[in-house]
Amino acid sequence: MTRDVETSRPFTLTDFARARSGNRKIVMVTAYDHPTARCLDAAGIDCLLVGDSLGMVVHGKPDSLAVTVEDMIYHGKMVRAAAQRAMVVVDMPFMSYQISEEEALRNAGRILRETGAHAIKLEGGVTRAPTVARMVDAGIPVMGHVGLTPQSVRRLGGFKVQRDAEAILADAKALEEAGAFAIVIECVPEELGHRVTSAVGIPTIGIGAGPRCDGQVLVLHDLLGLDETVKPRFSRRYAELAGTIREAAKNFASDVRSGSFPGPEHGFQ
Ligand code: KIV
């Protein structure tokens, strides 16, 4: 395939920083395995996020809390192996960075070293800033995540729009000060997404945070329509793959049952 100039060389931290000039939005999609990561990379997606959303969309759990560091490394390796141009960011899962700064540093280093990813992402702001600063000091690029932080779903009482503007602004500023290179803003009113973006000097990536962030991220399974039971307001389906897969499987079953598969062209003589 051919690629335009914008998508022909690896996307780096410098490109993230450049997005602040506002002339090119950063495009980020979650990825959890090799074949889909390869498609996303070839499509020119700038950043592949190995999100701990894999707990829900891949492992079928109601939230991401059961995801482990081993899970993230397992999926992170597959995605990193597929990415030729895209930057790969791996989420730090629940309880891998909250217990102590030392443990956080050890887990972040392990994730980076064992997956070969370019950066890690963690949730939280003011309370996590010292941990972020330690990681950045150790040479680990950190993406922050504010607003709706899914690992706190129990405390937040569900996956709800977050409206505490002052707290979210303080979180974003603390992350910038600690050295984070970008911030995901999840599920906040559009105006707040814009306020946070204007208040910090690092790029913001929105998911349900309005169009005035420096980039946008979607969960792959939402974008592809892989689960017909889930249709978040902030997402857009670009395909209806659940139906496509079901049809393909039905056709295969029907061909086997009718005897039309395998045909002569599928056999060995
Ligand atoms: O885990 C994830 O997929 C995420 C995105 C929603 C940003 O953190």
**Is the same domain home to 264 and 145?**
no
Checking 17-20 for CB contacts under 8 A at 24+ apart, the result is 17/181, 17/202, 17/203, 19/203, 19/214, 19/215, 20/201, 20/202, 20/203, 20/214
**Is the same domain home to 58 and 89?**
yes
**Is the same domain home to 97 and 25?**
yes
DSSP H or E segment with residue 144:
strand 142-147
Average pLDDT over residues 119-148: 98
- Please indicate whether residue 219, judged by its CB atom, sits closer than 6 Å to ligand 1: yes
Q: Tell me whether strands 47-50 and 87-91 are parallel, antiparallel or unpaired.
A: parallel
Whether the pLDDT of residue 39 is over 60: the answer is yes
What pLDDT is attached to residue 7? 63
Q: Whose CA is nearest to atom 4 of ligand 1?
A: 51
Quote the ligand 1 centre to 211 CA distance (angstroms).
Answer: 17
pLDDT in tens, 162-197: 999 999 999 999 999 999 999 999 999 999 999 999
- Please indicate whether residue 144, judged by its CB atom, sits closer than 6 Å to ligand 1: no
What pLDDT is attached to residue 44? 97
Q: Which residue has the tokens 């972020």?
A: 132
Nearest to 50 by CA among 182, 217, 212, 189: 217
How far is the CA of 226 from the CAs of 57, 107, 219, in angstroms?
Answer: 9, 31, 11
**CATH number for the domain that contains residue 43:** 3.20.20.60
**Is the same domain home to 103 and 192?**
yes
Quote the ligand 1 centre to 219 CA distance (angstroms).
Answer: 7
DSSP letter at 99 equals S
Ligand 1 atom closest to Cα of 52?
1
pLDDT in tens, 25-37: 999 999 999 999 9
pLDDT in tens, 64-94: 999 999 999 999 999 999 999 999 999 999 9
CA distance 119 to 91: 9
Ligand 1 atom closest to Cα of 121?
8
Is there a contact between 143 and 119 (Cβ–Cβ < 8 Å)? Answer: yes
If one residue of 58, 79, 207, 233 were mutated to test the ligand 1 pocket, choosing by the most ligand atoms within 8 A of its CB, it would be: 207
pTM of the model: 0.96
Average pLDDT over residues 205-213: 98
User: Buried (b) or exposed (e) across 137-171, using 16+ Cβ within 10 A?
Assistant: eeebbbbbbbbbbbbebeeeeeeeebeeeeebbbb
**Is the same domain home to 169 and 232?**
yes
Ligand 1 atom closest to Cα of 30?
3
**Is the same domain home to 84 and 178?**
yes
Pure H helices in the chain = 13-18, 34-42, 54-57, 69-82, 101-115, 129-137, 153-156, 165-178, 190-199, 220-224, 241-258
User: Residues with catalytic annotation?
Assistant: 186
Is there a contact between 108 and 127 (Cβ–Cβ < 8 Å)? Answer: no
Is there a contact between 215 and 209 (Cβ–Cβ < 8 Å)? Answer: no
DSSP letter at 59 equals T
Quote the ligand 1 centre to 245 CA distance (angstroms).
Answer: 24
**Is the same domain home to 180 and 256?**
no
- Please indicate whether residue 184, judged by its CB atom, sits closer than 6 Å to ligand 1: yes
pLDDT in tens, 256-266: 999 999 999 99
Q: Whose CA is nearest to atom 2 of ligand 1?
A: 51
Provide the domain limits for residue 184.
Answer: 5-238
Question: Taking all residues of the chain, what is their mean pLDDT, rounded to a whole number?
Answer: 96
CA distance 219 to 52: 11
Quote the ligand 1 centre to 66 CA distance (angstroms).
Answer: 15
- Please indicate whether residue 91, judged by its CB atom, sits closer than 6 Å to ligand 1: yes
**Is the same domain home to 159 and 256?**
no
**Is the same domain home to 189 and 246?**
no
The total number of structural domains in the chain stands at: 2
**Is the same domain home to 151 and 258?**
no
How far is the CA of 229 from the CAs of 107, 220, 225, in angstroms?
Answer: 34, 15, 9
- Please indicate whether residue 217, judged by its CB atom, sits closer than 6 Å to ligand 1: yes
Residue 35 preceded by cis peptide, ω within 30:
no
Quote the ligand 1 centre to 149 CA distance (angstroms).
Answer: 9
In the chain, the N- to C-terminal Cα span, in Å, equals: 35
